Amino acid sequence: MKRNHACTIFVILLLMQGCAGVNTFPMIARAGDTVSVMIGGSNTSNKSNVGVSLTDANGQTWDLKSLGLVRSVFNLRTDGLANGMHYSSYLDIYYPWSFGHEPLQTVLVTDLPTNVAPGNAVLTVTPTATDDSSGLGYPYSIKLEVIAGTGSSDKFLRKTGFGSTMQADFASLEQAPHGKVTFSSSANIGAVSLKIGFNNSVLNGNDINVYVPESTVRGSISSPGAFGATQRMVYWRQDGQFLYVDIVAPQGISSTYLQLFIVHPRGLSGSPNFTLTSATVYGVDGSAITASPSLQYFP
C-alpha cells in the first residue's frame, strides 16, 4: 500500500519539472521508517551537498545527514513520450534550461531516527546547489506525520526474473563522475568541433561515454512556433588519448540548449584530467565564432 502511494506521486510530479514536495511520501510513517521527498530540480545536488534535518513534535531536531540516515539523492527524468514533455507551457519546459540543465526532478530518500516522537514533524532540506529550477527559496520545509510504533528501513525489494529478490541499488541511480561542457554565445551555433584530452593511465578510453541532453523547447512564450529549433546531431569517438566530439545544428541552436557530459566509471586511481585541447565553434553561415566553451569536472 505504501509503495503504491509513493509510485503514484512519482508519476504525477515527474510532469512538473523540479518541484519541491509539500509532504514526504508516504505522508505518515513510524520512527525508523523510510520516506522520500521531491527537493527541486538540480543537476548538481547530491548526498554530500544537501543538508537534511528533522524536527519532531517535541521540538527535538536531528541532523539526518550527520547521522548517516540519508540514503540517496538522485534525479528522475520523465518519459520522452510524455505529453508534458512536448505540450506543457513554454515556461515549464524552458525554465530548467535557464538554470543550466534539462528538465529533471531531484529526489531524496532518508530513514527516520528510531526515537522520533509521535506527532507532526517537519523535514528541513537545505541544498547548496545554485542550479535549482524549483523557483523556491531554501530551505524547504516538508511536513510529515509520525505515528506510534516501531518502523524499519525499507529495502525496496524487487523480484528478479529468476524468482529471487534484490534490494534497490540507490548508488546506481546517483550520478557517475563526469565532465560537463557548456558554451557561451550570443549567436546561434551551427557546428562545434572539440578535442578533449584525458589521462589514459588512469582512465581507459573504452570506458568513456558521452551523454547529450535534448531539448523540446520551441519558439518563445509569445510565439511557440514549430518544433525543431533545438535539434542537433552529435558524433564522437576516442582513440585512447583524446576524445573527439563533433556537433552539427544546420538551423542553429542557442547555447542555452547545447551541453554535453563526458561520463566515466567510479573508482579511478586518480583524476582523469579532462582538458579542452582544442575547440572550434561555427555560426550557421559556417564562419568561426567566439563561443567560449568551458569544461567543469564533477567527481
Residue 2 has pLDDT above 60, yes or no: no
User: Helix H segments across 164-231?
Assistant: none
Residue 296 has pLDDT above 50, yes or no: yes
Q: Distances from the Cα of 166 to the Cαs of 39, 76, 161, 162, 218, in angstroms?
A: 27, 21, 11, 11, 42
Provide the grid cell at 70. 540519508
Q: Distances from the Cα of 50 to the Cαs of 6, 46, 200, 290, in angstroms?
A: 22, 6, 33, 36
State the DSSP H helix or E strand holding residue 251, giving kind and residue range, or none if neither.
strand 242-253
**From the CA atom positions of the chain, what is the Rg in Å?**
22
pLDDT at residue 16 in the model: 46
Q: pLDDT averaged over the chain?
A: 92
The model carries a pTM of 0.89
Identify which of 26, 173, 177 has the alpha carbon closest to the alpha carbon of residue 107. Answer: 173
> Any idea which of 59-63, 104-108, 185-189, 212-216 has the lowest mean pLDDT?
185-189
What is the tens place of the pLDDT at every residue in 192-235? 999 999 999 999 999 999 999 999 999 888 888 999 999 999 99
Strand arrangement, sheet containing 275-282: 233-238, 242-253, 189-197, 275-282, 288-289
Residue ranges and CATH numbers for the domains of the chain are 2-172 (2.60.40.10), 178-298 (2.60.40)
pLDDT at residue 18 in the model: 66
pLDDT at residue 222 in the model: 86
pLDDT at residue 258 in the model: 97
What is the tens place of the pLDDT at every residue in 83-141? 999 999 888 899 999 999 999 999 999 999 999 999 999 999 999 999 999 888 889 99
pLDDT at residue 271 in the model: 97
The residues, ordered by sequence, that sit 6+ positions from 219 with a Cβ below 8 Å of its Cβ are: 90, 225, 226, 229
